[in-house]
Structure 1
Amino acid sequence: MAGTHVKVDVDALQAMATKLKGSAGVIGNKKTDLAAHSFGQDQAGKDYGTEGKKVHDSLERLQTWLSNWQTAIQKTGEQMASSATLYATTDDGNVEKIKASI
């Protein structure tokens, strides 16, 4: 598509990055909350030790999953913020070059 221009809304991209990074923090808090609730063989009762261990192991896997999710969202937000800053800096630099040539 020759002649087509793409415009990036830097402010919207920064806002989205901020929201993503905030969401990563919320997920991190939930991971911490989950880690505070231990459950295992003792909590399941004497006849349900095997089931209690399964619940415990599942909660640990969930914590790992939340940690991975938090990291992915945090890194995505950081990259968006970095890109928005780069776009703004590049645009500002181009405007200055154009003004200087006039």
Structure 2
Amino acid sequence: MGSVTVDPAVLQQIGANLKSSAAIIGNKVTDARRQDFGAAQAGRSYSAEGTKVHDGLARFATWLQNWQGAVDKTGAQITTSATTYATVDDANVRKITAVGVQLA
């Protein structure tokens, strides 16, 4: 039978990296929402196209915000899971050694 090794410290670092990435993406959401290009900037003959560009930028900002939220929640869940793994493993070791089994 195979085995799996879980390194909580590595998982916590992965979670922290994801949360850091989410913060960077969040900054890009702010940048995307600052884009004011629209009908007026496109010019009189291209107002319809300018409106389409404006709407596309708004959809992009929303998509980016959703992505940021997903990355942040994934990082948080990985960090929480790593802590849970460590806590459960520590408790199991205490229970096993309490009955006299030597783990080595």
Tell me if both proteins adopt one fold, taking TM over 0.5 as the criterion.
yes
Q: CA deviation at 1:91?
A: 0.6
Q: CA deviation at 1:99?
A: 2.2
Q: How far apart, CA to CA, are the structure 2 residues paired with 1:77 and 1:7?
A: 20
* RMSD of equivalent CA atoms: 0.9
Residue among 90, 93, 100 paired with 1:92: 90
The share of aligned pairs that are identical, in percent, is: 53
- Matched residue, 1:6: 4
- Matched residue, 1:37: 35
- Matched residue, 1:25: 23
Q: How far apart, CA to CA, are the structure 1 residues paired with 2:3 and 2:52?
A: 55
SS of the residue corresponding to residue 45 of structure 2 reads coil
Q: How far apart, CA to CA, are the structure 1 residues paired with 2:52 and 2:35?
A: 15
Q: How far apart, CA to CA, are the structure 1 residues paired with 2:72 and 2:4?
A: 26
SS of the residue corresponding to residue 48 of structure 1 reads helix
User: Which structure 1 segments of 5+ residues have no match?
Assistant: none
- Matched residue, 2:59: 61
Residue among 68, 72, 75 paired with 1:77: 75
User: Which structure 2 segments of 5+ residues have no match?
Assistant: none
| Contact 2:15/2:74 (8 A) holds in 1 | yes
Aligned residues: 100
- In the TM superposition, structure 1's runs of 4+ consecutive aligned residues that sit over 4 Å from their partners are none
TM-score in terms of structure 2 length: 0.92
Q: CA deviation at 1:9?
A: 1.1
TM-score in terms of structure 1 length: 0.93
